[in-house]
Amino acid sequence: MQNLLGEFLYFFQRLNWLNILDLFLVTVVFYAVLVLLRDTQAVVLLRGVIVIFILLVLLTTFIDLPAFSWLVSTITPALIVVIPVVFAPEIRRGLEKIGRAGTYKLFSRPNLVNDQQLQQTIHAVVTAAARLSARQHGALIVIQRRENLDDYIRTGVRLDAAVTPELLLQIFYPNTPLHDGAVIIADNLIVAASCVMPLSASGILTKSPERQMGLRHRAALGTSEATDGITVVVSEQTGSISIAHNGRMIRRLDSERLENILLAFYRPNENQNEFINPFKNLFKRSGRKEEE
């Protein structure tokens, strides 16, 4: 015990502001990695890696096993190659988030909420979502923001039509040629329908106590993880309306709340930080309401 206290005293005596900065940077790196891996299947894999690492350290430190220690020291450098390969999707998604965060302020589009045509587009989407919900017709609508969605548009049928509730209702009418897939809206036009969107690899939907969320919700969440687009999804089983952005989803929305959230994304920035978290604040408020 005295030796342990002596080690602690020796450590604090040698501590200076450079050591504190060093420890802080290491902590930030580990925290960033954990945030990027949160709610993904990689968390389970990471736990297994940590358990194996601890066991290897204990075996090589407290027990004299020369052959086993040699094997561990030989295999360890290979992890430098293996880890980026295994965690490639999470690393890519994290770098994309960093890239998008850096461009929001530089390329923000001012006063879009005052644009009459944009308001009509949002109103048409909200009206269509409410009617689809009442009829329990499934739908997936992606609204482009700053990132170009041409790669996904090319997977669908090009329309370049005005955004109207009637057209959206017709597209998502069951068993019609275009009802499968997503509608992509850009520049106040329905650019394409029946588009193939990426599925989410996170475990958020699988952890939900409700099991009515299928491929449309996975595609909505996956689109929000891969792009900065706003995705509106209507459940075919329950008729509930959800919205996804930045890897998060708000469920069980009515038409008024849906319209308020959509308008919030295009509201002019009153504070420099508001461009980062309009959805975050709405998500928190929605979470509190659902808990109540």
The distance from CA 261 to its chain's CA centroid, rounded to whole angstroms, is 17
pLDDT in tens, the chain (292 residues): 566 677 767 766 777 788 788 888 988 888 877 776 665 556 666 777 778 778 877 877 777 778 877 887 787 777 777 777 776 766 666 666 666 555 444 344 444 444 788 889 999 999 999 999 999 999 999 999 888 888 899 999 999 999 999 999 999 999 999 989 999 999 899 999 999 998 886 655 555 544 556 788 989 988 988 888 899 999 988 899 999 988 888 888 999 999 999 988 876 443 334 334 444 444 444 444 443 4
> In one letter, which amino acid is 167?
L
Query: Alpha-carbon distance 221 to 214, whole Å?
Result: 11
Tokens of 214: 């299928």
Q: Collect all residues with Cβ–Cβ distance below 8 Å to 179 and sequence separation of at least 6.
A: 137, 138, 171, 172, 173, 194
Can you give the pTM of this predicted structure? 0.62
Q: Collect all residues with Cβ–Cβ distance below 8 Å to 68 and sequence separation of at least 6.
A: 59, 60
Query: Alpha-carbon distance 187 to 74, whole Å?
Result: 56
> What are φ and ψ of residue 146, in 5° steps?
-95, -30
Q: Let me know: does 140 contact 229? Beta carbons within 8 Å.
A: no
Give the pLDDT confidence score for residue 189 in this predicted structure: 93
Question: Which regions of the chain carry the CATH code 3.40.1700.10?
Answer: 112-291
Write the CATH number of the domain with boundaries 112-291. 3.40.1700.10
SS3 271: coil
Give the pLDDT confidence score for residue 162 in this predicted structure: 93
Q: Let me know: does 237 contact 136? Beta carbons within 8 Å.
A: yes
The distance from CA 132 to its chain's CA centroid, rounded to whole angstroms, is 25
Give the pLDDT confidence score for residue 220 in this predicted structure: 92
Give the pLDDT confidence score for residue 57 in this predicted structure: 78
SS3 234: strand
Tokens of 148: 């170009």
